[in-house]
Amino acid sequence: MTSAECPVCEAEVEPEWEVERGEIIDCGDCGAELEVADTEPLEYIEAPELEEDWGE
Amino acid sequence: MTRVGFLCSRVRKDEKLLLEELRDRADVERIDPREVSLALDSPEGAEVSPEELDVVVDRAMSYSRGLYTARFFGSYGVPVVNTSDVARVCGDKVETSLALREADVRTPDTRVAFTPESALETVEAVGYPVVVKPIVGSWARLLAKVNDRDSAEAVFEHKKVLGSYEHSVFYVQDFVDKPGRDIRVAVVGGEAVAAMYRESDDWITNASVGAETTACETDGRLGSVAVDAARAVGAEDGVVGVDIMEDGDELSVHEVNHSLEFKALTEASGVNVAGRYADRVMEVAE
């Protein structure tokens, strides 16, 4: 796991820790919230917007 | 080795902590509700079949996805922490209020009305201030403290016009003048294992909106009220977060959360809540 392309701005984004599928990280270039879609190979999708029934 | 199905889409710090503890104890298979379709007899799209699982942990952030996926896995014969029955009662504030009242657990007086006019009549009869809440929702979203008739008319009209049909179930609760804080208690398998105060200058004291958290003892009446509340929603075998307000000398339960967020609680209390959570999951699997 090294880096992968931000789907919003195409910058290379490298996680600072060992990430899990489903984790959210920020793109340092454009600030988009990215969801880790896969770890091998690393792949991001744009994180979904908060939905009304999310929570505890 | 025990096999645990871990139901979640988004992995937050809470899920990372819990995954780490579970992986020390079991084989863990991730199940993402976005990737499965649930037939009556088996799921399609999951990487593991129900027969191979000893237990499923519901950590879905989406109430509806978690509720129905937990219901299906329960129907497939797999124990789920928490069960869909617990999720249904905790995820719907009307159900929670009724369950607490039926179990004689103190909770703020609550009324439900179905039109802005009847909701306004109710509030006028009860007196101000009151709190208006959506029946489904979390993290203090869309809570309104209504201080007068003008505000009440505006809030009810906005809910009616701008909201989905569920926002026309007007859930009105007495405002409790708590002492600038409330208390979150984690109840795991019928035991209060950790608690914290959540303090704020705002009337909303949810950690998700910036309340400061400090440790709180779980013994005595507080722990006992929290355990009673967990039992009231059917979670004596599960894991829930009980939110309690100090109402004068009384303790009043205003919420029971079936998908306990424990990151702040772990930091404030020093208790390894994820470890206790994982232990409970393993006990349910046996």
Sequence-separated (6 or more) residues with CB below 8 Å from residue B249 = none
Count Cβ neighbours within 10 Å for each residue of B100-109 and write b for 16 or more, e otherwise: beeeebbbbe
Considering the segment(s) B3-81 as one domain, its CATH architecture is: 3-Layer(aba) Sandwich (3.40)
Q: What residue of A is the nearest CA neighbor of B255?
A: A56
Compute the average pLDDT of residues B221-231. Answer: 98
β B27-31/B3-7 pair status: parallel
A53 close contact with B: CB closer than 8 A? yes
Residue B187 three-state SS: strand
Name the DSSP class of B217: -
Name the DSSP class of B131: E
Domain ranges for chain B: 3-81, 91-105+178-279, 110-174
C-alpha atoms less than 13 angstroms from C-alpha of B47 in its C-beta half-sphere: 11
Residue A15 included in any domain: yes
Query: Residues 7 to 26 of A: which have CB under 8 A from any B CB?
Result: 20-24
Q: What residue of B is the nearest CA neighbor of A55?
A: B138
Residue A32 included in any domain: yes
Please give the pLDDT value at position B18. Answer: 98
Classify residue B221 as exposed, middle or buried by CB count within 10 Å of its CB (0-12, 13-18, 19+): exposed
> Of B39-48, B179-188, B238-247, which gets the smallest average pLDDT?
B39-48
Residue A16 included in any domain: yes
Q: How many CB pairs under 8 A join A and B?
A: 56
Name the helix (H) or strand (E) containing B183. Answer: strand B181-188
Sequence-separated (6 or more) residues with CB below 8 Å from residue B5 = B29, B31, B46, B48, B53, B55, B56, B57, B73, B78
Contact between A54 and B12 using a beta-carbon 8 Å cutoff:
no
Contact between B10 and A56 using a beta-carbon 8 Å cutoff:
no
Contact between A24 and B136 using a beta-carbon 8 Å cutoff:
no
B123 close contact with A: CB closer than 8 A? no
Alpha helix positions (H), B92-212: 93-102, 116-126, 149-162
Q: What's the rounded Cα separation, in Å, for the pair A41 and A3?
A: 9
Contact between B9 and A24 using a beta-carbon 8 Å cutoff:
no
Count up the domains in chain A and report the number.
Answer: 1
Residue A24 included in any domain: yes
Q: What's the rounded Cα separation, in Å, for the pair B136 and B3?
A: 32
Convert the pLDDT of each residue in B177-187 to its tens digit. Answer: 999 999 999 99
Please give the pLDDT value at position A1. Answer: 60
> Of A25-29, B138-142, B253-257, which gets the smallest average pLDDT?
B138-142
Q: What is the pLDDT along chain A (56 residues), one digit of tens a residue?
A: 689 999 999 999 999 999 999 999 999 999 999 999 999 999 999 998 877 778 78
Q: Give the domain CATH number at A12.
A: 2.20.28.160
CA distance B61 to chain A (A): 5
Convert the pLDDT of each residue in B176-217 to its tens digit. Answer: 999 999 999 999 999 999 999 999 988 888 877 788 999 999
What fold does the segment set B91-105+178-279 form as a domain? D-amino Acid Aminotransferase; Chain A, domain 1 (3.30.470)
Neighbours of B40 (CB within 10 A): 7
What string of DSSP letters covers B22-80? HHTTSEEEEE-GGG-EE-SSSEES-SS-GGG-SEEEE--SBHHHHHHHHHHHHHTT--E
Q: Write out chain B residues lying below 8 Å of A35, CB-based.
A: 10
Q: Write out chain A residues lying below 8 Å of B9, CB-based.
A: 22
For A1-56, list the strands marked E by DSSP: 4-5, 12-13, 24-26, 33-39, 42-46
Helices (H) and strands (E) counted in chain B, each on its own, are 9, 15
Owning domain of residue A9: 4-46
> Of A23-27, B99-103, B164-168, B282-286, which gets the smallest average pLDDT?
B164-168
Residue A53 included in any domain: no
Q: How far is CA B257 from the centre of its chain?
A: 1
Residue A54 included in any domain: no
Q: What's the rounded Cα separation, in Å, for the pair B55 and B285?
A: 5
Q: What's the rounded Cα separation, in Å, for the pair B259 and B189?
A: 14
Residue A51 included in any domain: no
Q: Give the nearest partner residue to B10 out of A24, A52, A53, using CB atoms.
A: A24
B110-174: CATH number: 3.30.1490.20
Contact between A20 and B241 using a beta-carbon 8 Å cutoff:
no
